Structure 1
Amino acid sequence: MTHYLYLVRHGEQQDAEHGLPDGPLSPRGRRQASLLADRLSGVPFDAMWNSPLQRAAQTAQTVAERLPALSPEPTALLFDCVPTGVTGETPAAFEPFFGAVTDEQVEAGRAQMADAVSEFLVRKPGEVHELLITHNFVIAWFVREVLQAPEWRWMTINQANCGLTVLAQKPGRPWTLLTHNDLAHLPVELRTGLPEPLRF
């Protein structure tokens, strides 16, 4: 019996390029969320959680419309956050990112992700399927945690809008990464949100 954790980045946000901290999904984001819902419609989910931010909540609501047995549950553990500051191992190329990040934000992000890992990366009995709709950095931290990579490595792990990452744990075994940023449900023109666009 396996515990599956499905991690999804929210759909594309309206006017995200203008630097708005949050907002509704763009028309393309709504289409991404709808295709994600189609992709997940056959999974026997036990629970679904989402970040309270509007773009994630709207993505969760779109999925829930196709999975009427599920009710999205917002949780502050899935908020967008910065889980670390510059460490001794952080490559210099990444240091400019932290110029606008305060020590308080880093401290809050680190505490949040410690709590999120304790809450969600915990083995549950039986066959379990849980869905988390959240943000790029949060998913990157979960993947880094499962792979036991150095802390700064979350900065090198990116998810497209409505990309699907699946973690799994069998009894007596560690968590494993089954798939990362799976975009099979999205046509090329809907594959947005990565630092470098995918051309295939």
Structure 2
Amino acid sequence: MTTVYLVRHGETVWNAERKIQGQLDSPLTAEGISQAHWVAKRAKSLGITHLYSSDLGRAVQTASIIAQPLKLEVITDRRWRELNMGILEGRCIDDLSDKENAMRRAPLSGALDARILEGESMQEMANRLHQALNDLKSLPKGSIPLVICHGLALGCLIGTIMGLPAHAPRRIRLRNCSLSRVDYQKSDWLAEGWVVETAGDVSHLNENSRDELL
């Protein structure tokens, strides 16, 4: 069995301001930094051997905090990036027109190829995420990697492992610095492949942590 832990990055300035990040970036807030430290404490008990991260700054900043007590190098991989949200990146949700808001929701509308103008579809994102996840199976036996990723990306990855289409309406709530776990299993009673063990665990976080989903 291969075990992979997945963490959404800490709260960012744009999360707090309700701005669309996508593949643009903003730094962690003081709350986001605190969340990352809580994950680091939790991760020390998990036997983590490798630390991977999206190459976007908010994920790398979160990963760097987690890396300190683990004494691990952060390995960045652009395949773990958030959905490319095209022309809406950097915009505040509250300032969008009705047409722009409909465009923002398009990738989760149920249409296979829906995307924000100049962005990518959920299926395109799912393809790169699964490729990156499957590559972790080639790590030495006994390895336990932890990946720092993004909200829409992780929701899509977990959903597709559970058998949902990539463009299905969002049904998984993943808070900043929540912890998820997926296992690659071969057993007599489960089909060989990835299974979801835990999704969105926040038991390690301060109960007052904000629930930002941007």
Scaled by the length of structure 2, what TM-score is found? Answer: 0.75
Q: Which runs of 5+ in 2 are unaligned?
A: 86-100, 108-114
1:184 to 203, 206, 209: 203
Distance in 1, matches of 2:70 and 2:84, equals 31
Aligned residue runs from structure 1 range 46-195, under 5 A: 46-68=49-71, 70-81=72-83, 97-98=104-105, 101-107=115-121, 110-121=123-134, 123-124=137-138, 126-153=141-168, 155-172=170-187, 173-194=192-213
Distance in 2, matches of 1:98 and 1:194, equals 13
How far apart are residue 121 of structure 1 and its match? 3.0
Scaled by the length of structure 1, what TM-score is found? Answer: 0.79
CA deviation string 1:108-129 (max 9, x = no partner): x643431320231354463331
How far apart are residue 57 of structure 1 and its match? 0.8
Distance in 2, matches of 1:37 and 1:194, equals 21
How far apart are residue 15 of structure 1 and its match? 4.1
Amino acid at match of 1:10: H
Distance in 2, matches of 1:99 and 1:112, equals 14
Amino acid at match of 2:70: L
Distance in 1, matches of 2:63 and 2:169, equals 24
Query: 4+ residue stretches of structure 1 with deviation over 4 A?
Result: none
Distance in 2, matches of 1:165 and 1:187, equals 17
Amino acid at match of 1:188: E
CA deviation string 1:151-174 (max 9, x = no partner): 333622231000001001233532
Q: Does the CA contact (< 8 Å) of 2:178 and 2:201 recur in 1?
A: yes
The more displaced of 115-124 and 133-142 is 115-124
Distance in 1, matches of 2:167 and 2:125, equals 16
How far apart are residue 193 of structure 1 and its match? 1.7
Fraction of identical pairs, as percent = 24
Q: Which runs of 5+ in 1 are unaligned?
A: 84-93, 196-200
**Aligned-partner SS, 1:4:** strand
